[in-house]
């Protein structure tokens, strides 16, 4: 695998990077096919695969064993993010699909933050491992819910993800849940609130939201995970999750 451009010398990746890339192309196929089932014929499977391969290559180049995160987990998150970013940049999909992709991206963002945070803090007991897994899974579920509620139901089409008709009651429930999520977000500390509002309601990537606040990608990812944890606790307390 090489990189090149006008006036630039080609650079060949070292063997370990190439081995990671070629040894994990099956992950690209999995993510590309899962996404293809969501977007139907709007984007060719070959394009989704190309997005995923770019994500895998970036993962292979940036992988650091000292993080303590297995490479396939590291790669899976980045492949998913690359495919979703590619689809969202396409600009030709129904708003319903954009919300689904936003939800998937939110869950991927939370997974990435937890992978980095948890790898730096090993657990010392089965109870601690169980608590960590619960936090991980519930936060992922919240990220999916918040991502899916980020758009207004007034903008949504009248079918669900499977193409079935959505009833007026379901549309009202969706809008009410979205309003409750926004109310919870409004109570977050300033920076957590800002990054959630920019990312979910402003429609920009998490990286861009962090940059707009003068934060590094890593710190923005951690603030996002903290915000999702806080939202999870509040929605559970109120019975909305």
Residue 11, strand partner residues: 3
User: Dihedral of CA 63/66/67/70: which sign?
Assistant: positive
CB-CB contact of 38 with 88 (8 Å): no
Number of other residues whose CB lies within 10 A of the CB of residue 87: 25
Q: How far apart are CA 120 and CA 116, in angstroms?
A: 7
Round the average pLDDT of the chain to a whole number and report it.
76
174-213 confidence digits (pLDDT tens): 778 878 888 889 999 999 999 988 887 887 778 888 899 9
Which residue from 112, 117, 107, 102 is spatially nearest to 205, judged by alpha carbons? Answer: 102
58-111 confidence digits (pLDDT tens): 999 988 877 667 888 788 878 988 888 888 777 666 666 766 676 677 777 777
Number of other residues whose CB lies within 10 A of the CB of residue 92: 9
Alpha-carbon torsion, ordered 220, 221, 222, 223, to 10 deg: 50
Write out the two tokens for 15. 């063997």
Alpha-carbon distance values, 113 to 10, 13, 158, 221 (Å): 33, 27, 34, 6
Write out the two tokens for 27. 């992950």
pTM of the model: 0.56
What backbone torsions phi and psi does residue 2 show, to the nearest 5 degrees?
-130, 160
- Structural domains of the chain, with CATH: 8-93 (1.10.1740.10), 99-241 (1.10.10.10)
29-41 confidence digits (pLDDT tens): 998 998 888 776 6
């Amino acid at each position: 695998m090489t990189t090149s451009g006008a006036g630039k010398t080609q650079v060949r990746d070292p063997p370990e990077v190439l081995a990671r890339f070629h040894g994990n192309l099956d992950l690209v196929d999995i993510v590309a096919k899962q996404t293809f089932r969501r977007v139907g014929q709007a984007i060719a499977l070959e394009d989704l695969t190309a997005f995923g391969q770019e994500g895998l290559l970036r993962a292979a180049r940036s992988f650091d064993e000292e993080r303590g995160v297995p490479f396939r987990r590291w790669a899976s998150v980045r492949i998913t993010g690359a495919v979703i970013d590619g689809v969202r940049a396409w600009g030709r999909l129904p708003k319903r699909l954009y919300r689904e992709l936003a939800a998937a991206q939110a869950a991927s963002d939370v997974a990435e933050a937890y992978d980095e945070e948890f790898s730096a803090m090993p657990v010392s007991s089965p109870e601690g491992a169980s608590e960590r897994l619960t936090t991980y899974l519930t936060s992922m579920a919240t990220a999916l819910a918040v991502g899916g509620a980020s758009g207004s139901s007034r903008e949504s089409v009248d079918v669900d993800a499977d193409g079935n008709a959505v009833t007026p009651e379901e549309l009202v429930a969706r809008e009410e849940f979205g309003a409750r999520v926004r109310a919870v977000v409004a109570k977050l500390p300033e920076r957590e609130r800002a990054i959630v509002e920019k990312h979910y309601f402003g429609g920009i990537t998490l990286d861009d939201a962090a940059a707009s606040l003068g934060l590094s990608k890593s710190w923005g990812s951690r603030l996002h995970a903290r915000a999702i944890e806080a939202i999870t606790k509040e929605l559970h307390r109120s019975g909305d999750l």
